[in-house]
Structure 1
Amino acid sequence: MKKLLEGIVKFRQGDFENHKELFMGLKEGQNPHTLFISCSDSRIDPNMITKTLPGELFIIRNIANIVPPYRKTAEYVATTSAIEYAVLHLGVENIIVCGHSNCGGCAACLKPIDSLDNLPHTKKWLELSYSIRDKVMNEVGEEYPEIREWMMEQGNVVEQLKHLLTYPYIKEKVCAGSLKLSGWHYIIETGEIFIYNKESQEFLLANGRN
């Protein structure tokens, strides 16, 4: 806690003062250009890897950057309601689904189902990615764990892009050209970001060194 308390003092004295006019403008409301859906993993910092300032990204974070398929429900739905708010109320121009290397959620999908019995809500949530898990496990043997992990992470991103298109208002805006969807795979240890190319159906390096 001490580190956090020291941090808020430094923020007020440093970053806030350096962007004082920005924060004064943000008190009137927000107008983000992008909905950024990423994993809750503490190693992922959407603003840092995109070099964006407060007010630019509307961020949703959950285990394994999952997007539940659209459905009408009376349940309390955090991710679904946040997507609805970002697209219909804030009018974002882009939606990015950003997966990452060494994802604990994706790794858990590849383990025996009973390994998550002590985390029942996590286990239920990850069922949304089981179709990708099954495909990866059928295509790649256990002797290639790194390939399995890579395929699971990237396949999971593509699956969530498909889920986004089950939202009627998203599909309508994408077809009209007013909303763009993109899938990213961020490599923690190298800083590389691979972006999914729909035409070639592969992830291509977007930020290689010059």
Structure 2
Amino acid sequence: MQINDLIKGNKKFREARFSKYETDLKQLVKTGQKPEVLFIGCSDSRVTPDLMLDTKPGDMFILRNVGNFVPPYNPDNDYHGTSAAIEYAVNVLNVKHIIVCGHSHCGACKSLYQDLENSPELSNVKKWLELGKKAKEYTLLATPNKEDKEQLYRTTEKVSIVYQMENLLSFPYIVEKIKNSELQIHGWYYKIEDGTIDYYDGEDCTFKPLEDYKK
């Protein structure tokens, strides 16, 4: 993919596809965005929320970072990009749903098992990966066959989603909105290899096909 390809892509979008969304976009410019979903996904280039879910402009407020991690609530007046996006989506846009969407073959989860101590150029990455530490620890305790690395990674990816959902509950305004039935949190697992999505069933503590989801 070259920059010229992106330039050509924008031209193609304007000529062939923009008209499909033009009315909606003009209305969104006039009235402002009102998405009902905050989608927290991974920065992985293979994860494509709009394609995966067939959404249109204005449907989702999308937050992407390494590993679709959520840091615990920490009002220390420092720079917190992920927390700021969550705060804006919940308190300003008043979204009704937060989806934490992990995925298969996640580089962040795999990196939890790699030694990055001698990689000074990845200092921020190492710090960020601490948000996956609990998922790794739980997976190691719960996995009998630790030699099967791929299974270890797949399990870690799913367990991490649950821990990121728990971190969302450290935000007091999220807890308040959940208590008032104004907000719901969902955990999803996207399989890159076949496009399917599983959802986390908190009652059974298992992931099930999204088609089986019941409100």
Within a 5 Å distance, the mapping from 1:6-85 to structure 2 comes to 6-28=8-30, 29-85=32-88
Counterpart selection for 1:3 from 2, 5, 11? 5
- Matched with 1:161 is 165
Counterpart selection for 1:173 from 163, 177, 183? 177
Percent of aligned pairs with the same residue? 39
**Runs of 4+ in structure 1 displaced over 2 angstroms?**
112-118, 137-142
> Is the 1:98–1:183 contact (alpha carbons within 8 Å) kept by the matching residues of 2?
yes
> Is the 1:110–1:137 contact (alpha carbons within 8 Å) kept by the matching residues of 2?
no
Alignment RMSD (CA, Å): 1.4
SS in 1 for 2:192: coil
TM-score normalised by structure 1 residue count: 0.95
Q: Does 1:94 align with 2:88?
A: no
Q: CA deviation at 1:75?
A: 1.0
Within a 5 Å distance, the mapping from 1:93-172 to structure 2 comes to 93-114=96-117, 116-140=119-143, 141-172=145-176
| 1:107 partner letter | K
- Please give the alpha-carbon distance, in whole angstroms, between the structure 2 residues aligned to 1:115 and 1:50: 39
Give the number of aligned pairs.
Answer: 208
TM-score normalised by structure 2 residue count: 0.93
Unaligned runs of 5+ in 1: none
* CA deviation string 1:123-155 (max 9, x = no partner): 100101101111212333431112211110001
- Please give the alpha-carbon distance, in whole angstroms, between the structure 1 residues aligned to 2:114 and 2:137: 11
> Is the 2:37–2:59 contact (alpha carbons within 8 Å) kept by the matching residues of 1?
yes
> Is the 2:21–2:57 contact (alpha carbons within 8 Å) kept by the matching residues of 1?
no
> Is the 1:16–1:23 contact (alpha carbons within 8 Å) kept by the matching residues of 2?
no
| 1:36 partner letter | F
- Matched with 1:206 is 210
| 1:46 partner letter | P
CA spacing shift, 1:164–1:116, aligned 2, 3 Å: farther
- Matched with 1:193 is 197
> Is the 2:110–2:153 contact (alpha carbons within 8 Å) kept by the matching residues of 1?
yes
- Please give the alpha-carbon distance, in whole angstroms, between the structure 2 residues aligned to 1:198 and 1:39: 22
Q: CA deviation at 1:17?
A: 1.3
